[in-house]
Structure 1
Amino acid sequence: MKKIHVIIIFLGCLLSSCKDSLLEKAPLDRFTDAVVWKDPALIDAFLLSQYAYTPVMINDATTVFSSWDGSPMNRDPRSSNLRYWFGNSAQTFGPGLSIEISDEAKYTSGAWANVAAEKAWGISIDGGVMEWWDNAYYTIRNLNEFIERVPSSPLNERLKATRVAEARFLRAFCYFAMVKRYGGVPLLTTVPQLDSPESLLYPERNTEQELWDFILKETKEIAEILPSVQDEYGRATSWSALSLHSRAALYAGSIAKYGTLHANKLTGLPSGLSSAYFQMAYDASDKIIKEGPFSLYKADIQGSNVDARVQNFKNIFLVKRNSEIIMAKQHGGKSFDPGGGTSTWSWDICHAPRPSVWGQGNYQAPYLELVEAFEYADGRPGTLDRNYVQSRLWTMKELWDGKDPRFYASIWTNGTPWRDAVASNFGKDTINFHRGLITEDGTMLTTFTASYKGMPAVGDQSYFHASTGILNTGFGIMKYLDPTANNMIWLMESRTDYAIFRLGETYLNYAEAAYELSKPNDALLAVNEIRSRAGIKELTSIDMEKIRHERRIELAFENHRYWDLRRWREAETKLTRSFSGIQYVLDYTTRKYKVLIHDEIDGDQRPTFPKRCYYFPITKTRTGQNSNLKENPDYN
């Protein structure tokens, strides 16, 4: 008789209403179908495990790490390699990969899952980066079984409808994660059996349009079934379904307008469909904004006080269950090392400044180009005059003063306050990111062990990278960093919730869809709502570039930039280029800084985005196993 894995430990990473003691429970043994589908508690546990088995909801991480022996859902045949099942997991390094492969940041060190090679040369026909296929179909099969079984279960009718709608939401999210990667994929809504026809066991790919239309139809229907508020926080609601509908429709509209329809229709969408998709995105976003119980988070704003604006933006990602969050993956309880399973993640140890247990942090370092994209609060462009910047000495206030408050809430750099940062020229609790020291006679010291009159040539934050020969960009990721997190233990000590959907994105979805539908006034109003909350000068006119710019800033490091560039078909130019970083050199006499700009900060691994990479490869392994699967264009 068939067995079903039910892993109760996953409950803790989903529902904060659960008690911490639940996180301490060992996984249940296997249960037969006859037991699971007749027991309400086991039915619910099965569904909750599928939430955890959908890690792509967390910055497009693709695996789950639940033990050193792997996880039940890590079906990738390469899962014996730590890169695939540990390094890509939602609990460890996986949430950083979509940041690194975009134009937001470069890989520096410390992660088994870096994608520097794929970023430099493009994804090969063998795949290997951010794949959501084997694990996707494992989860989809479980969800299809749940959808089939629950209607005849002992749950009451209202609860049956809600739980099935939740499973349909997760299935739609899985297919959304697949179609934005691969285009058309086999659309399976039933559970294959050993005696199923070959068309089900070895399915062909559906067209890309069939996938988008399925996702949009499902999310529209289940938004009418799911409650506005769930009995347990973290479950999908009607607003979650509408948010996925809004995001998916916007993607589909962009692909129809800016992409190319392949002759076999497995990739691309008919251009004539773009307006209909944009209308769906507009309508769903409008409903969430006007009828939803959400508001842009403004609780910490104190008039024009810049520090308050900075903290307000930080708190969107630090204050749990705040007014802006539509759906969140909750983190809390014990970390993995003392037996807490998957209830926490590793964001802080990956991205926080030193000190940390391995003396690293800063695994993905933001590019100078992203820093320059942040305007000044008065609306001036943030682009530096690079020749002038390198011609004189600077204090950090002179260099970065007056920027959009979101800059300070999203980026850390030399001189940024940080608890326990090693004292040097700034004193304690301030990041020392200098790499080089100019002595009183004008000599420049760069050796990481050198010092002059007690002043180290390399600041503490640069020490690890300097000692290993890595050239950093001079910046780190501040967004989501918890100043109370203990980074001196191990991985998986972060307990900030992850915002799967938030109202800030909804406003920007609305603005983009409105502009594509020739509603510029609606677009302008929506963008200015975002800018007003941030504390930056409002726009007097709007165009598509301004909307895209606002998405880049507001949604930085939230798993949008890479996919946005792909759907706009701008990745070939925006991701095929050299990127820059800066080096701070401390002048001992003045205690100011000489700024050196490195135009080729990626070195020999200069980023390249080949046209074929608008779609991931199906891979030779999968087409070899199923000859009915056709490979995507230009992979050979």
Structure 2
Amino acid sequence: MKLKYNCSILALATMLCLQSCSIEPELTDVYGEEVAWSGETNVELSLNKFYPLIGQSYYSAHVNQDAYADILKKNTPNDEVNLLILGSSTITPGANPLDNWAWGYTWIRHCNEFLDGLATKGTGLPNEFYQRAEGEVLFFRAYVYFELAKRYGASVILYNDLNDGVGRNVSTPDEVWNFIAADLDKAAAQLPPTVPAAKRGKVTKGAALGLKARAMLYAKRWKASSDAVDALQALNLYDLHADYKALFNQRRSEAAENKESILEFGFLAPNFTYSFDYFFGPPLDGGYAQISPTENLVREYQMADGTNFSWSNPAHAAAPYVGREPRFYASILYNGASWKGRTLETVEGTKEGFAIGGGTTSTGYYMRKLFDEKLTDLGRGELTFYFMRYAEVLLIQAEALAEQGQLVAGLEALNKVRRRAGFTQDLTATNAGQLLNLIRRERMVELAFEGHRYWDLRRWGLATTVLNGTNAVGVKITKATDGKLTYTLVDSDNGRSRVYPEKYNRFPIPIAELQRNANIEQFSEWK
């Protein structure tokens, strides 16, 4: 297939990478592949088109995925997410809002086209550049396959070359995970440990190792996962940021040092921004308040001394938002919170108060994490998106070690994350089961709104209990004439029970793929 790059695509790629490029002057609006592979500058432009894969929409997709779990609730009752989780709609081979099959194979084709072109027409490029370029695209191909694997039980079709048009069989999970691991191993071997400041956001060796650790956790290849973390830590490049709240309030323009960021996507106003705050922010911000944290999540934020919060504790129930751990205040907007020069009021009957129906919170809460408190134009957000950060790597390490029975080392990785959160008393565990339960809660809190919760519950085998026959909990606050507040736990799903059948643990192959490829058949649970 002949590769063609028109001027508009080149301009978009240039903007996305936030750096200026040039191409050999030629009086035409279409450039053939001989131009695309003629030098480093042009190949770099081709590489740039892959980077929207890691964060072009800021956290919107990740927040929406968390709404399929138990930590976020879409406030509009007829939202697509609510219709699915409450059983009004169902996943089928013909309709699946979490399907990414066509998306995945489009990008895999792009990756394989690039790798084929590089191998056949890029032989004149400097070796160091050639190796880095190949490593970047291998990273992206592995990422796309990982996103497919976690949806379809790693039962997908493998292509390591250009598709010849002949349908191929679905590979086994072991073959798929081996393929992903091999791509990431080669990428890690060829990518540089660091990049110049002007290329901040480019894929590095640490990013490849971090993604391998994440992928191998899903594959239940515990040693491969912990070994990847060991290799990442041996680079001596990464550490936890001192302040959890400040971590999520960094703009690319500030150029602040951040050792926690392993791979990020930066935004720079006015040319490249996002509208996340506009869609998800509170009403008095001018936002549409499409989503709210649930009490299911909020109650998991512990007290500052490390003890658990409980509504059964009279002191806690009387002042539920006093004395909680710092991540609570960095992540949740609650009644009485200071926000954008006002005191947030979520009391029922107020403009930002609890209500079922949309336009305000149906749980009594709004998100704070991921929002920019200084932003005035909600359509011009420019905070940094983290594709992977070191705290996640430590939690991966803790889980992989726990699964291998290495409790002391697993606890140390877990407690590093908690110490940054302000806890002075380390957690302890006497067996792997206890430690895994601690890690699961920590992932729920530390990684909240970053798109991990739904997939975590599936891979742990817990979705059929946590997300089935349950409901989202909210807090309705009423105020008496004397000003006294009453907190009432309420069903934010409005009397409906959530639905998650076991077969959702592996999504069906889309019907369009079955129709075009006679060599594959639908998974048994979906026939």
Return the TM-score normalized by structure 2: 0.89
* Paired residues for 1:554-573 under 5 Å: 554-573=446-465
After superposing on structure 2, the runs of 4+ consecutive aligned residues of structure 1 that deviate more than 4 Å are: 465-471
Residue 107 of structure 1, CA deviation: 0.6
User: Quick one: which of 282, 288, 291 aligns to 1:360?
Assistant: 288
* Post-superposition CA distance 1:375-403 (Å, at most 9, x none): 112121123229x699x8x5xxx221111
Question: Which residue matches 1:314?
Answer: 245
User: Are 1:238 and 2:238 matched, yes or no?
Assistant: no
Tell me the CA shift for residue 130 of structure 1: 2.5
Per-residue CA deviations over 1:182-227 (Å, capped at 9, x if unaligned) read 12111011112xxx3xxx5312111111111111122122211100
In structure 2, the residue matched to 1:346 is 275
Which residue number corresponds to residue 445 of structure 1? none
Q: For residue 69 of structure 1, what is the aligned residue in structure 2?
A: none
Aligned with 2:160 (options 183, 189, 194): 189
- In structure 1, what is the equivalent of residue 136 of structure 2? 166
Paired position in structure 1 for 2:376:
486
Contact 2:281 2:367 in 1 (8 A): yes
In 1, Cα distance between the equivalents of 2:358 and 2:213?
A: 45
What is the aligned counterpart of 1:147 among 90, 101, 115?
115
Q: Which position in structure 1 is the counterpart of 2:67?
A: 100
> Would you say 1:419 and 2:340 are equivalent positions?
yes
Cα distance, 1:529 vs structure 2 = 0.9
- Measure, in 2, the Cα distance between the counterparts of 1:609 and 1:12: 43
1:240-319, aligned counterparts within 5 Å? 240-253=207-220, 277-298=221-242, 312-319=243-250
Shift of 1:351: 2.8
Aligned to 2:301: 374
Deviations 1:278-314 (A, max 9, x none): 111111112323433111111xxxxxxxxxxxxx211
What is aligned with 2:432? none
The CA deviation at 1:177 is 0.4
Correspondences of 1:46-195 after superposition (within 5 Å)? 46-52=46-52, 54=53, 57-58=54-55, 90=57, 93-109=60-76, 114-121=80-87, 122-151=90-119, 152-153=121-122, 154-182=124-152, 183-192=154-163
**TM superposition score normalised by structure 1:** 0.74
The structure-2 alpha-carbon separation of the partners of 1:288 and 1:370, relative to structure 1 and needing over 3 Å to count, comes to same
C-alpha spacing 1:5/1:108, structure 2 compared with 1 (3 Å)? farther
Q: Please state how far the C-alpha of 1:114 moved relative to its aligned partner.
A: 3.9
Q: Is the 8 A contact 1:377 1:536 kept in 2?
A: yes
Separation in 1, partners of 2:358, 2:117: 55
Q: Tell me how far apart the structure 1 counterparts of residues 420 and 258 of structure 2 sit (CA, whole Å).
A: 15
Uncovered stretches (5+) of structure 2, i.e. residues with no partner? 23-27, 252-256, 430-434
Task: Work out whether residues 218 and 459 of structure 2, in 8 Å CA contact, stay in contact via their aligned partners in 1.
Answer: yes
**1:309 maps to which residue?**
none
Corresponding residue to 1:613 among 504, 518, 525: 504
1:410 pairs with 2:375: no
Kindly provide the CA deviation profile for residues 248-282 of structure 1, in whole angstroms up to 9, marking residues without a partner as x: 111111xxxxxxxxxxxxxxxxxxxxxxx211111
1:571 and 1:609 in contact (8 A); partners too: yes
User: Are 1:117 and 1:605, in contact at CA under 8 Å, matched by a contact in 2?
Assistant: no
Shift of 1:352: 2.6
| Mapped contact 1:175–1:215 kept (Cα < 8 A) | yes
- Calculate percent identity across the aligned residue pairs: 26
Could you say which residue in structure 1 is the equivalent of 2:475?
582
Q: Distance in 2 between matches of 1:92 and 1:524?
A: 29
Distance 1:558 1:468, change over 3 A: closer
Is the 2:75–2:359 Cα contact (8 Å) retained in structure 1?
Answer: no
SS at match of 2:487: strand
Give, in angstroms, the shift of residue 604 of structure 1: 5.2
Aligned residues: 502
Residue 432 of structure 1 is matched in structure 2 by: 345
**CA shift in 2, pair 1:166/1:486, >3 Å:** same
Unaligned runs of 5+ in 1: 23-27, 59-63, 65-89, 254-276, 299-311, 335-339, 421-428, 436-457
Displacement of 1:462 = 2.8
Q: What is the deviation of 1:315?
A: 1.3
**Structure 1 residues 228-237 or 469-478, which shifts more?**
469-478
Residue 4 (structure 1) aligns with: 4
Q: Where does 1:531-570 land on structure 2 (aligned, <5 Å)? A: 531-542=418-429, 543-570=435-462
Let me know the Cα RMSD of the aligned residues.
Answer: 2.6
Cα distance change, pair 469–132 in 1 and its aligned pair in 2 (3 A): closer
**1:497 corresponding residue in structure 2:** 384
C-alpha change, 1:538 and 1:221, in structure 2 (3 Å) is: farther
Shift of 1:371: 0.7
Q: Distance in 2 between matches of 1:518 and 1:632?
A: 34
CA distance in 2 between partners of 1:469 and 1:561 (Å)? 25
1:325 aligns with 2:261: yes
Instruction: State the SS of the aligned residue for 2:133.
Output: helix
For residue 37 of structure 2, what is the aligned residue in structure 1? 37
Q: What is the match of residue 254 of structure 2?
A: none
Q: Secondary structure, in 3 states, of the residue corresponding to 1:462?
A: coil
- Are the aligned partners of 2:111 and 2:138 in contact in 1 as well (CA < 8 Å)? yes
